[in-house]
Structure 1
Amino acid sequence: MARASWMAAFSLGLWLSQPTLADEPASIPPAKPKQVEQAVERAIGYLQTESAAWLNTRKCAACHHAPMPLWALSEAEQQGYAIDKKFLADTTESLLGSKDKLMASKIFSNPADPPDPRPQGRGLNMGLPFLAVAAQASPSLSEGQKQSLKLIADEIVKKQQPDGSWEFFATLRRPPINESQTTDAAWIIMALEGEAGPDAPESRREALSRAIAWLDAAKPSDLHQDKVMKVLMGARSGKPRAAMQTTIDELLALQRADGGWSQTVPEFKSDAFATGQTLYVLSLAGYTAERPEIKRGIDFLVASQASDGSWPMISRSTPDGSPGSSKLLTPITCAASSWAALGLARLAPKRP
């Protein structure tokens, strides 16, 4: 864990309020530890407010507005930051407390409802693995919540294809949350790993084995997120850093001149989604804030945060998943801000 030993002088400079398509590198000054902590605290406030508002108005446990903030808040609390514990506990219970609550969240199908005739009705609702991974970050779960995670695992097994993969509907994708079949598979595998221990049904362990084999055999891609997920899965499974070093080196080589990382879109500049993801997985692999590349990534996030605690983003997709510009930017903003909070909290735990 990195603490205060990386202190450096700082005078907060101006930075673009959102990623742009410009090419010129920006000069970003180093952030003081106190300013990093303040960035995390602002992010916590934003995530709690934004997630609560979405759940109250949309009544949907979307990947970006429920699981991702819950995960970020859980990790921030474990790093010493103050969060609204009641919000975290109540929201987790409202989504995972029972099978009925899972169905009410609109991410778990109700057997009493007529079958979904659309092609995506055959697939797995990706809100389920996101919610399961987020719940795994919680230090304690109730018995009802644990049972819900088992239901999610069984649904994952039920929707698995014979080759070990899960259907991916390219026309319905929502990058970067659902960027590709391989990034989706990584999330599903992480969710299934939590419920495929020695005492789990053989069907779950077999499904997990097939899924890992499918992902290992999948054609390598140049997606930034695929590299991130490879390191994330390796770190979570306890692989030594040496086993992940090639991918780590590829991620480090992708760092931009401004200190951030960008999604795999050539004309996009650095953003909080890619930068937060990268910092978080590198921290899991043992990198600390003393490392120059990590310090520069932290500086980028501190300088680019908006006053409300979020990190403004631009869209990568329209509602049908094709490239374009969506008018609703709160989903990508909330997801990116969650990743940024995850990365910063891990690398800069709250000091006494």
Structure 2
Amino acid sequence: MKKYLILFGLLSLLAFGWKASDDRDAAVESAIKKSLPLLERGSHLFLKNAQALVNCHSCHNQGLGLVTFAMAKEKGYQVNDTIYAEAMDSTRHQWITNGDTRALMEDDDPVATLITGDYDLWGLAANHFAGDKLTDILARNIMHMQTADGSWFSPGKRPPMEYFSFSVTALAVKNMQVYLPGVLRPEVEQRVARARAWMTQTTPRANEERVFQLLGLTWCKGDTAFIAKQARKLLSEQRSDGGWAQLDSLPTDAYASGQALYALNQSGQLAVTDEAFQKGIGFLLRGQEKDGSWHVKTRSFPFVPFVDSGFPHEKDQFISAAGSNWATMALLLAAKNPEQEP
């Protein structure tokens, strides 16, 4: 009799586990289907409204947005073709319509090229854009901005996206390897080695730095034991609610949590099935607003023209759009192929 009871209990646990798994998969799919249209709309409206003010595109809506769109398309989610093409086109032509190509070639352009250019090239690379003369020029320009210690200096003072040297260094390393021609391979390898040394020897303090240290070292094939060590440190920052915070003094939010999950997974240090990853997914699912967004509070002093993209959360919409992209990217890692609606 006892054997039957034990067997019944095991079968019940298995059945419950399957149901719980099915429920989580459905919740992840639902969350993605709510956030993607909002991110698409925000991308379109930012570009539309920016024309009258600054004639530019953004890291938070188009840079990260294109990475999200690429992941969604690869996972089988529907992305609006017109909005996707618009985001790609604005990124490819940003440096022709709003920048001086000759200045780029002569390295006589604003230092702000670094962060915008790096996010642009990452977005293009995520979508398997083969490159052209302009991406070549932009990647060369970024390469020449490497500092003596092997890092790149972040020109912006708008944390977290435009502030930390780890962010631009990691992205520069990735983009040089993707978009610079073979004839420059010896120089690229030498510069990557210097950047790898800097990222290994420099101690990250904020979540953004820990995330991009992991990503940068992964992208440039850093020491695997060191990557694992740093991943454990980032994982140790996960709080009891399942999320991460941008700074020790701040509460957990979707921006820090989404990017931590993404970096830990992409560095090969945390599988989507691991308890810590699922705990992070739970945090994101609980924090999503009914409109499909995640609200992240800004901590930047505004000094560029404000472009209303129609994204929720008013003056917090830039960082909330970025946070919603990171959150959606993490969810996409955990998602199965969606059930297509009839």
Deviates more, 1:157-166 or 1:33-42: 157-166
Partner-residue secondary structure (3-state), 1:66: helix
Native 8 Å contact 2:61 2:322 kept in 1: yes
2:284 to 266, 289, 301: 301
Native 8 Å contact 1:31 1:298 kept in 2: no
Identity %: 23
Bigger RCO (CA 8 Å, 6+ sep):
1
1:153 to 103, 122, 139: 139
The structure with the largest helix share of the pair is: 2
The equivalences for 1:68-147 within 5 A come to 68-97=64-93, 101-104=94-97, 106=98, 108-111=99-102, 121-122=110-111, 124-139=113-128, 141=129, 145-147=131-133
Rounded to whole Å, the distance in 1 between the matches of 2:18 and 2:43 is 32
Give the TM-score, by structure 1 length: 0.78
The answer for the alignment partner of 1:47 in structure 2 is 39
Once the two structures are superposed, residues 112-131 of structure 1 have per-residue CA deviations (whole angstroms, 9 ceiling, x without a partner) of: 89x9x9xx934544100011
Native 8 Å contact 1:165 1:214 kept in 2: yes
Give the TM-score, by structure 2 length: 0.80
Rounded to whole Å, the distance in 1 between the matches of 2:77 and 2:226 is 32
Structure-2 change in CA distance of 1:6 and 1:308 (3 Å)? farther
Structure-2 change in CA distance of 1:7 and 1:230 (3 Å)? farther
The equivalences for 1:154-303 within 5 A come to 154-169=140-155, 172-196=156-180, 198-200=182-184, 202-218=186-202, 220-237=203-220, 242-266=225-249, 268-284=250-266, 285=268, 287-303=270-286
Once the two structures are superposed, residues 105-153 of structure 1 have per-residue CA deviations (whole angstroms, 9 ceiling, x without a partner) of: x4x445489x9x9xx93454410001101111113x36xx433321211
Structure-2 change in CA distance of 1:214 and 1:290 (3 Å)? closer
The one-letter code of the counterpart of 1:52 is H
Rounded to whole Å, the distance in 2 between the matches of 1:37 and 1:134 is 23
Rounded to whole Å, the distance in 2 between the matches of 1:262 and 1:31 is 27
Tell me, which stretches of 5 or more residues in structure 1 are unaligned? 11-29
Rounded to whole Å, the distance in 2 between the matches of 1:134 and 1:283 is 19
Structure-2 change in CA distance of 1:33 and 1:240 (3 Å)? farther
Superposition RMSD in Å: 3.1
Deviates more, 1:268-277 or 1:174-183: 174-183
Native 8 Å contact 2:121 2:175 kept in 1: yes
For these two proteins, the number of residue pairs brought into alignment is 310
Rounded to whole Å, the distance in 1 between the matches of 2:144 and 2:204 is 27
The answer for the alignment partner of 1:343 in structure 2 is 330
Structure-2 change in CA distance of 1:251 and 1:286 (3 Å)? closer
Native 8 Å contact 2:253 2:296 kept in 1: yes
Native 8 Å contact 2:272 2:333 kept in 1: no
The one-letter code of the counterpart of 1:130 is Y
Rounded to whole Å, the distance in 2 between the matches of 1:175 and 1:147 is 32
Partner-residue secondary structure (3-state), 1:310: coil
Structure-2 change in CA distance of 1:38 and 1:199 (3 Å)? farther
Native 8 Å contact 2:228 2:269 kept in 1: no
Rounded to whole Å, the distance in 1 between the matches of 2:298 and 2:190 is 38
Tell me, which stretches of 5 or more residues in structure 2 are unaligned? 1-15, 305-312
Partner-residue secondary structure (3-state), 1:287: coil
Native 8 Å contact 2:118 2:172 kept in 1: yes
